[in-house]
């Protein structure tokens, strides 16, 4: 008998679920037979009414939120749209940043000839803001560990913003130069913190996940 795909739930109640996604696993189903294994399907295998609220890139690991039923999903989706959900990521990037903290305010749009890539687009891009804070510097390796807060939620926002300021994320096959991509066997980006109001009670919930790198 084939073992059921592994799913790790950090929280599950009658209204919402917080699950941990592995790097290399899709958030939602993709194309073809091999694209059907995804975190949404794994969570639904143990909680059939779980509905996706947001996504992580396939290469990104970390915390994802699900609503149980349409009412909870819609309430949580509205919270994301209103930017009341608090998200933090940890990444390891090439080089040393020029300060201890800062912001990247660069508009982004789809790079249509090179989909799914995104690009900085000062003429037609959507406003996009990322806050960053240095957690540690590894001078010997020439890398910096960052905490990242995506104030907006554009596709690939963290990856494009960091590449744009000259500090691509290690292991990033889409945006890092080959020599930076080759420095890790996965994208070193992890959704490490998730805070939101419970969709039914309004109670403040906070979840943390240490990055596996």
Active site residues: 57
**Dihedral (CA of 120, 31, 89, 153) sign:** positive
> From CA 129, how far away is CA 126, in angstroms rounded?
10
Q: Are 73 and 102 in contact (CB under 8 A)?
A: no
> From CA 114, how far away is CA 160, in angstroms rounded?
14
Q: Are 176 and 166 in contact (CB under 8 A)?
A: no
Question: CA neighbours within 13 Å on the CB side: how many for 27?
Answer: 18
């Amino acid at each position: 008998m084939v073992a059921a795909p592994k799913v790790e739930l950090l929280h599950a109640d009658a209204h919402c679920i917080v699950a941990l996604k592995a790097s290399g696993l899709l958030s939602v189903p993709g194309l073809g037979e091999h694209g059907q294994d995804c975190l949404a399907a794994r969570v639904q295998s143990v909680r059939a009414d779980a509905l996706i609220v947001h996504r992580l890139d396939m290469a990104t690991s970390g915390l994802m939120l699900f609503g149980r039923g349409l009412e909870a999903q819609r309430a949580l989706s509205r919270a994301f749209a209103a930017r009341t959900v608090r998200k933090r990521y940890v990444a390891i990037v090439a080089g040393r940043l020029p300060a201890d903290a800062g912001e990247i305010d660069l508009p982004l749009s789809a790079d249509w000839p090179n989909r799914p890539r995104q690009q900085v687009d000062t003429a037609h891009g959507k406003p996009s803001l990322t806050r960053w804070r240095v957690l540690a510097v590894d001078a010997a390796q020439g890398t910096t560990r960052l905490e990242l807060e995506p104030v907006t939620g554009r596709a690939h926002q963290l990856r494009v913003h960091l590449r744009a300021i000259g500090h691509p994320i290690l292991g990033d096959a889409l945006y890092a130069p080959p020599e930076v991509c080759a420095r890790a066997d996965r994208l070193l980006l992890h959704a490490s913190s998730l805070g939101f109001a419970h969709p039914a009670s309004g109670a403040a919930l906070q979840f943390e996940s240490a990055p596996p790198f």
